[in-house]
Chain A
Amino acid sequence: MRGGRLFIALMLAPELVVLALFYAYPVFQNLAISFTDLYLLRLKTGGNWIGLDNYRELFHSPEFGHVLFNTVVWLTIVSVVLRLLMGLGMALLLDSSVLKRLRLATAAKLAILVPWATPPIVAVVVWRWMLDAQNGIINAVLVKLGIVDNPVAFFADLRTVWPSVVTVIVWNTVPLIALSLLASLQSIPEELNEAAALDGASRWQQFRHITLPFLMPTITVLSLMSVFWTFNNFVYVWLSTGAGPGTFTNVLATEIYIKAFVDFRLGYSSAVGIVMALVMAAFGIVYYRFVATRELGESL
């Protein structure tokens, strides 16, 4: 449909106004601060201009590569991919006819919703307790089944700390993915699958050629949003490991937190924040151009 410029403007205006008011000021303020040496203790008086020094310090710091790797690979890629796979699996499970016949669907949906309603700090507390070496149930089960001889210190052992953190993140966030995909799954016209079945297509072929394309718009949106949220997230890592042991699980967001609220260096941490935003913006643009337009189809 064309035309009706006024209509379009009126429908878009509220959204744009809210977003502009909320994000514009902090973002530009941050950009300004990133070129200064502002301290939290000198908020009243302001900082001195130091140009690109903060950025230079960031890129030359020996830890930068490690922190970037943690953020990109462990925190973002691994947890988002796991979330999508598990979410898809759960959605398919919830959609299956078996559950409907046994009338378990509603209960299952509620059960899946529960982890999402749990505040992150409680999620971390409970999982740390479940994975505890002395008292945790997971170690008790592992030892009893003979899978390991001694209890594993999940959050202390460098080999298992990242998988443990990822587990907490996935547990707390997969319901969103699962339920969104479920909603999309259930809007697929059943006739398509039935027609294909009559034509002799196997379940897998049906899934690949009918179901999956239908879900792609939702998957596209969910993965983009998940990447953004996870890349910038500091709560899970901070509460579960404090970026430790040592600085092993330090990610960009916890680095900012340490620099801003422990070392009080607001200028430097703003610079890190701007760099993170640029990385995400670049990712967003690439994603948008190549993936989103294709999947969201002619509507974009």
Chain B
Amino acid sequence: MSKWMLRVAAAIFGMVAAFAPALAQQTVNLTFRFNDTEEKEMRAALDQFEKQNPGIKVTLQRIGWRDARDQFLREAAVGQGPDVVHVAQVWVKEMGQAGALQPLNDLIKQAPLTNGFSDFMAQELAQNKEGRIYGLPWTTDTWAMVYRTDLLKEAGVTKLPETWAELHDVSAQVKQRTGKTGFGFPAGGSASGAIWFLANCYWWSNGKAMVVQKPDGTYGMNLTTADVVDSMRYVKSFLTEGHNPTSNLSASDAHDPSILQALVNGQQAIATMPPNTYKQVLEMYATANPGKPVPFVSGPFPKGTVTRTSMIGGRMLGINANSKHPAEAWKLIRFLASEPIFTQYYTTQFPAQRSLLKNVNWSPELKGFAEQLGYARTWGPYSDGPAPIGAMWNATGRAFSAALSGQRREQDAAEELLQAVDKLMKTRSQ
């Protein structure tokens, strides 16, 4: 009797032992590297995800944006790195090419997106020429102009400037009538400086561009020295005429504290920035002036000879090529791209899906950004083309800064810039 019982016990034990590893393996551990400051909110969202998907645990990581790209490329090259990674939209193709991100096409087929991939903006930046999709667009934003209504009123300005020339005149008027800064923009030349955005908006609005795709499929430049000199002279006029203080030559970010403080304290009337920075300005104003109405309004970029436009910025989510759990990672990505994430948790950014964007509640101060999104375009050929965006960005910033600070004549700086970009487009081999 006891021998028989022993045999049964052993058999049961054996079966449990055989299945135990399989049962234990059911918990999948994912790492999600999310690089913005809304860590608490994202953690709450991930807790929700874990509740909905018992068996998947997600660890949240963060690397500042400055170092995010290099760090991920390094890790991917040695077989490490997080499963799901938060990347800038202009990095996706390069990272796919470099073998750091894995293609999502099969995953999309197996577990399709609610509104389909075509609902997502900036798709061209997510896939390569053969149609391999390396990232899912997640958030989108664009820069717009920001105005202090009380200062404009004080200067006698009745309507927001529509063209670049009007912007210049309004800025000068503010300085003349009130003594305060007009359009205070960062004119510094650091590697990821803001002057790159201003310059491109100016060129695009006049029908030019640093990188274009020609009808035969190759890439070229639609920018002459004269165009660059013109844009440099325009930007410099604000500095030499004093309505953008020369100290802004050492400011390279739109969120530079001296610019933001000038806006909050009423020392500056006009600025340009992304929506998240603008929200910080509004918050700070509210903290410093509790109960008072907020004298800020946003508006679209000025028109050039052809159009008014700005660049669609954005972030995407990708799956590490080394990830051991692509299916679960894809589940997490689909969860993160769903509407509740943007309405309940990650409320500081706008979703990169047209259907969701329609439902966003724009507060009155932010209406300008909503309008500008309609005019905005993606980087397109800049990202597809042979020259790395970062290198062109850096070269442009340096050239403008050299011209604006007087180290070089505009003509020379412009020529050198175009030569440098030309070299980048030719020597970079794929």
Contact = CB atoms under 8 A, between A and B. Distances in A.
A158 interface: yes
Contacts of B95: 41
Interface stretch (B151-159, B256-264, B346-354, B364-372): B256-264
Nearest to A263: B391
A248 interface: yes
A105 B277 CA distance: 46
Contacts, number: 112
Interface residues of A, number: 33
Given A44-B98, A246-B398, A258-B191, A153 B407 contact: no
Given A41-B97, A134-B247, A248-B405, A263 B394 contact: yes
Nearest to A243: B190
A134 B404 CA distance: 20
A133 interface: yes
Nearest to A260: B70
A89 interface: no
A262 B191 contact: yes
Interface string A248-276: 10000000001001111000000000000
A245 B193 contact: no
A246 B391 contact: no
A241 B190 CA distance: 7
Nearest to A264: B388
B300 interface: no
A8 B258 CA distance: 59
A242 B252 contact: yes
Contacts of A157: 246
A246 B407 contact: yes
Nearest to B79: A44
The number of chain B residues touching the other chain, given as a range, is 35 or more
Interface string A173-188: 0000000000000000
A157 B189 CA distance: 14
B220 interface: no
Interface in A119-169: 128-129, 132-135, 151, 153-158, 161
A132 B258 contact: yes
A242 B190 contact: yes
A88 to B, nearest CB: 32
Contacts of B135: none
Interface string B400-430: 0111111110000000000000000000000
A247 interface: yes
A61 B180 CA distance: 43
**Top-4 shortest CB links A-B:** A242-B190, A246-B402, A155-B250, A153-B247
30 contacts: A41-B98, A43-B77, A43-B98, A129-B257, A134-B245, A134-B261, A134-B267, A135-B261, A153-B246, A153-B247, A155-B247, A156-B249, A156-B250, A156-B405, A158-B406, A158-B407, A244-B188, A244-B252, A245-B250, A245-B401, A246-B398, A246-B403, A247-B189, A248-B405, A248-B407, A258-B191, A262-B390, A262-B394, A263-B388, A263-B390
Given A245-B405, A248-B405, 15 more contacts: A41-B73, A42-B98, A44-B76, A129-B257, A132-B258, A133-B245, A134-B261, A151-B247, A242-B190, A242-B191, A243-B191, A245-B401, A246-B401, A246-B405, A247-B398
